[in-house]
Amino acid sequence: MARVVQKFGGSSVADADSVKRVARRVVATQRAGNEVVVVISAMGDTTDELLELAKQVSPDPPARELDMLLTAGERMSAALLAMAIFDAGASARSYTGSQAGVITTAAHGDARIIDITPGRIVQGLEAGDIVIVAGFQGVAQDTKDVTTLGRGASDTTAVALAAALGADRCEIYTDVDGVFTADPRIVPAARRIPAISYEEMLELAANGAKVLHLRCVEYARRELVPVHVLSSFSDRPGTLVASFEEGTNMEAALISGVAHDLTEAKITVVGVPDEIGKAARVFSAIADVGVNIDMIVQNASVTDKTTAISFTLPDAERPIAIEALRAVQAEIGFRDIVYDDGIGKVSVVGVGMRSHPGVTARFFTALAEAGVNIAMISTSEIRISVVVDEAAVPAAVRAAHKAFGLDTASGEAVVYAGTGR
Amino acid sequence: MARVVQKFGGSSVADADSVKRVARRVVATQRAGNEVVVVISAMGDTTDELLELAKQVSPDPPARELDMLLTAGERMSAALLAMAIFDAGASARSYTGSQAGVITTAAHGDARIIDITPGRIVQGLEAGDIVIVAGFQGVAQDTKDVTTLGRGASDTTAVALAAALGADRCEIYTDVDGVFTADPRIVPAARRIPAISYEEMLELAANGAKVLHLRCVEYARRELVPVHVLSSFSDRPGTLVASFEEGTNMEAALISGVAHDLTEAKITVVGVPDEIGKAARVFSAIADVGVNIDMIVQNASVTDKTTAISFTLPDAERPIAIEALRAVQAEIGFRDIVYDDGIGKVSVVGVGMRSHPGVTARFFTALAEAGVNIAMISTSEIRISVVVDEAAVPAAVRAAHKAFGLDTASGEAVVYAGTGR
């Protein structure tokens, strides 16, 4: 008997009919001879509605209480799914994150999973029940208060439970057919990636691909949990995210996919005195307010002994960063701060580039031929990212997708050998 | 410093503005020098909406899962009230019934409180916080599953917490000004009762008065918790429900109030063989399906050696009772079952009738003068109830209210000496 963790997102349980459809799928999985643990998100827009309610009561609600409020969402969907499973002829029991033994830090709204003590889940499975766990939530180790793991973190709950339970499979059901070579809304020729390594998936998720959450992929890689991304609206094969042996990917898979991200902004600090330690002061001022920056470019001016420091960051954090910089402007002695929120980042990701030179040249040539101007560049061992004008992002994504042969079906022929666990 | 438990019902927290109003009242109570524990119901129609959602998913949802679903309601209102309290300048922490230590039986949907382990509440109070507890819910001692105490049981949560915390006051905030001598919608001259004994309040609650729930009053009497019934929409003095020394109530308070109940039905089993044990079989058949009956009348027929057995019961349980009787009809050998759901019960309640004969005569005379026909009668030491035609209930209530001098202000002059605790 295999042990399976299945996670269903909010769009998969948007209303009573959807809940019933999920119930049928879950019951079918059990009837096929599996032990089934289901991780469930809040129904449809529930979380947003609860946030709106909180805003009506208080402009700045305390994080502990916001967590108490928001965790009601998954509690409701978990209970409703259990009812639908009974109605579909199987038996089930729903648990909150706390009841399921999801132990976290006390960082309300953004807690990290420290440990899983799945005693009650195992009991439920041994009793022959389908066990449903409210995703996105846990209980703080020290305070015993209810916590949430951050938006979309039900994926992480599923992977963490799969690891703790020694599950044979972890299936993440979503509203798309898997991970694609690019966003199909931008690149109609984008194709499903049948299998991808943790490292590539991490880079895609960190650079704008929204199918899986970054922390979930990190957790899966650390615990070596194979993750299947599947559609809850079809029976297509989806994408397997796992660890693959070196060299099993064919030559053609130079690039696995093209990701893009429109949520960043660029800040440029102008007229920074060209002295040792000034650039460090700029970045420590930003780090002190908890803002993560992404790319950095520094340009020295030859005329006036100053430099311009540009960096990108999530646009939502731009006001905090600018406020922090203004506070140290006199001390550092820079001239001004300018920003640009009309930028986009385009990244090509693939383990193949480790062993193949020329990827950068091919990428930049494709961008040039598409008339796209590059503002900033950053690279990792398996990724090249460029910042371009927001308006140029679709053209850049399409050009990269084509240049690396992702438009053609040959990429599909790549054979990965999943290591499993 | 006094310790106060304040309970607010669903109509007191129907929307964001109401939640803020409750927050202001609670904060004012703390600022007046009190330790404050708040018990809160689900907002407005939340519980009904969740029940509707459950019905959409399953026609017969399992009780454990229904409890998981419904308890989300108070969790949300508790968290929102905490936010509003922070916004009003004080600090608060909300707890679920389980976190607050409300330990119950495992009877999902109708659990009883077994114990209160209020360690976290006391911690919160000692930290200077206003502590908010989700009403109506607890955790089962054996299974550790979440339970509910039955509709409207937040009152009971409040009284149980007041007892466990040794609170100086337990205040039940509602949408009326207190307990009245009769329903003001039927008797415009009805007046607020400033103070009433547990025994009288029990009889009123058991016979149709809806201000306090029966189980709450039972709990308060057992634990000697004085309960103040107050309006959350005014600052009027309300009603004190407490234990009063014998003899402190004046002569005028022969009757404290008139209650009525339109939710019962009458079933008559006709043609029951007039043999020993036949009536007992009728009632044991009904008891076996868990239906509580109220009044009983048996009439022997002189012509055919059979009897007719009539009894009243909650109209909602009538189908179950009739089904149970049909199942034993052949065995018992009765002729038929007839029912009447067009009945009403009118009760006069007062400890004064213990020492004053003639109450029955005065009550029945008043009914006769008002042209009301009595179908059934039952009495306790401090109550006389009659079943009448549903249409005659308003006239009967008004006649009784007038006959016992409750229309005039003299009743207000009654002085009770509360024993406190």
Q: In chain B, what are the domains?
A: 2-175 (3.40.1160.10), 246-421 (3.30.2130.10)
| B21 interface with A at CB cutoff 8 Å | no
Angle subtended at Cα B118 by Cα B128 and Cα A74, rounded to the nearest 5 degrees: 90
Residue A132 in this model has a pLDDT that exceeds 50: yes
Chain B residues within 8 A of A64 when measuring between CB atoms: 82, 93
Q: What is the pLDDT of residue B253?
A: 62
More confident residue, A86 or A308: A86
Instruction: Please tell me what DSSP assigns to residue B286.
Output: H
pLDDT in tens, B324-362: 999 999 999 999 999 999 999 999 999 888 877 788 889
Q: Which of A75-89, A93-107, B366-380 has the lowest mean pLDDT?
A: B366-380
The residue to which tokens 């470019």 are assigned: A297
| B53 interface with A at CB cutoff 8 Å | yes
**Hey, of B55, B83, B85, which one would you mutate to test binding to chain A, going by the most A CBs within 10 A of its CB?**
B83
Q: What is the pLDDT of residue B371?
A: 94
pLDDT in tens, A150-199: 876 899 999 999 999 999 999 999 988 999 999 999 999 999 999 999 99
Closest CA to A112 of A78, A177, A80, A157: A157
Flag if B57 and A120 touch (Cβ within 8 Å). Answer: no
Cβ neighbors of B35 (< 8 A, separation 6 or more) are B1, B2, B3, B4, B125
CA distance B288 to chain A (A): 27
| B83 interface with A at CB cutoff 8 Å | yes
| A188 interface with B at CB cutoff 8 Å | no
Confidence of residue A299 (pLDDT cuts 50, 70, 90): confident
The most confident of the ranges A28-42, A220-234, A280-294 is: A28-42
| B82 interface with A at CB cutoff 8 Å | yes
Flag if B86 and A61 touch (Cβ within 8 Å). Answer: yes
Flag if B86 and A94 touch (Cβ within 8 Å). Answer: no
Find residues 352-411 of chain B whose CB sits inside 8 Å of chain A. Answer: none
Range list of β-strands (E), B256-353 = 257-261, 264-273, 296-300, 306-314, 336-340, 343-349
For residue A359, give the amino acid letter.
V
| A76 interface with B at CB cutoff 8 Å | yes
CA distance B50 to chain A (A): 8
Phi, psi of A361 (to 5 degrees): -60, -45
pLDDT tens across the length of chain B (421 residues): 899 999 999 989 999 999 999 999 999 999 999 999 999 999 999 999 999 999 999 999 999 999 999 999 999 999 999 999 999 999 999 999 999 999 999 999 999 999 999 999 999 999 999 999 999 999 999 999 999 998 778 999 999 999 999 999 999 999 889 999 999 999 999 999 999 999 999 999 999 888 898 889 999 999 999 999 999 888 889 999 998 765 554 444 688 999 999 999 999 999 998 888 888 899 999 989 988 888 888 877 767 788 889 999 999 999 999 999 999 999 999 999 999 999 999 999 998 888 777 888 899 999 999 999 998 888 888 999 999 999 999 999 999 999 999 988 654 333 333 333 3
More confident residue, A358 or A248: A358
**Hey, of A67, A69, A87, A144, which one would you mutate to test binding to chain B, going by the most B CBs within 10 A of its CB?**
A69
Q: What is the pLDDT of residue B219?
A: 92
What tokens does B265 get? 């039905």
CA distance B94 to chain A (A): 7
Q: Is A378 exposed, middle or buried (0-12, 13-18, 19+ CB in 10 A)?
A: middle
Nearest CB to B68 within list A20, A73, A79? A79
Nearest CB to A94 within list B57, B65, B87? B65
Nearest CB to A82 within list B65, B76, B82? B65
| B76 interface with A at CB cutoff 8 Å | yes
Phi, psi of B17 (to 5 degrees): -65, -40
**Hey, of A15, A38, A53, which one would you mutate to test binding to chain B, going by the most B CBs within 10 A of its CB?**
A53
Q: What is the pLDDT of residue B417?
A: 36
Cβ–Cβ < 8 Å for A373, A159:
no
Flag if B94 and A56 touch (Cβ within 8 Å). Answer: no
Q: DSSP readout, B351-418?
A: GGGGT-TTHHHHHHHHHHHTTPPP-EEEEETTEEEEEEEGGGHHHHHHHHHHHTTTTSGGGGG----B
In the beta sheet, which residues pair with residue A386?
A: A346, A377
CA distance B139 to chain A (A): 11
In the beta sheet, which residues pair with residue B173?
A: B8, B230
Please give the residue of chain B at the shortest CA–CA distance from A144. B99
Q: What is the pLDDT of residue A417?
A: 36
What is the average pLDDT value for chain A, to the nearest integer? 90
pLDDT in tens, A5-39: 999 999 899 999 999 999 999 999 999 999 999 99
Q: What is the pLDDT of residue A154?
A: 92
Q: What is the pLDDT of residue B416?
A: 37
CA distance A125 to chain B (A): 16
Residue A411 in this model has a pLDDT that exceeds 70: no
Cβ–Cβ < 8 Å for B413, B252:
yes
* Sequence-separated contacts (24+) of B365-373 with Cβ below 8 Å: B365/B403, B366/B399, B366/B400, B366/B402, B366/B403, B367/B396, B367/B399, B367/B400, B369/B399, B370/B395, B370/B396, B370/B398, B370/B399, B371/B395, B372/B396, B372/B399
Report the Cα–Cα distance between both ends of chain A, in Å, rounded.
Answer: 16
Flag if A83 and B93 touch (Cβ within 8 Å). Answer: no
Please give the Cα distance from B289 to B291 (Å, whole number): 6
Flag if B83 and A66 touch (Cβ within 8 Å). Answer: yes
For residue A191, give the amino acid letter.
R
Phi, psi of A170 (to 5 degrees): -125, 115
Q: What is the pLDDT of residue A416?
A: 37
Flag if A75 and B68 touch (Cβ within 8 Å). Answer: yes
Q: What is the pLDDT of residue A136?
A: 94
Confidence of residue A138 (pLDDT cuts 50, 70, 90): very high
